[in-house]
Amino acid sequence: MKKKLEELKKFMTDKIPFNEFLQLEVEELREGYARLKLPFRSEFVGDVRRPALHGGIISTLIDVCGGAAVWTHFTVEDGIATIDIRVDFLRPGPDDDLVAESEVIRVGNRVAVVSTTVFTSKSKDTIIAEGRAAYNIRRAGEL
């Protein structure tokens, strides 16, 4: 299991160009759980008057972290794709690194459901957003 999770961590950071562009960091993976950090960049600000992070970057973090949590049940050769995602924005995203924690609620043969919380790197109590997503699962032989 440890080797599989290390392979997934490397895949998430080095083999997915979008994740690499965002400079996402995989802080922890275990079966049914993922914790990712998104380092702050000024390009992520959506409202310069506050400043506040763009909701799209927060949604992206929720989506990627949720997908990583699902992938812990499978191999990197299997396909995981988002079917549906819901994001509740609870407060403006500050100019700080964000952390997302995702837990798989249910994993079936074809669909997995994940719950995610996003908070600042300074305080787990400062919740920025919560999300729930469903992911399609396609085994490598079915792709």
Span 63-75, pLDDT tens digits: 999 999 999 999 9
pLDDT tops 90 at residue 142 = no
Work out whether the CA dihedral 7, 25, 93, 33 comes out positive or negative: positive
CB 35 within 8 A of CB 98: no
CA atoms within 13 A on the CB side of 4: 13
Per-residue pLDDT tens digits for 34-63? 999 999 999 999 988 888 999 999 999 999
Computed over every residue of the chain, the mean pLDDT equals 95
**pLDDT confidence of residue 143:** 59
Q: Can you give the CATH number for the domain in which 26 is found? A: 3.10.129.10
Total structural domains within the chain: 1
Which residues constitute the domain of residue 52? 2-142
Which residues is 118 bridged to in the sheet?
100, 129
Q: What is the value of pTM for the model shown? A: 0.94
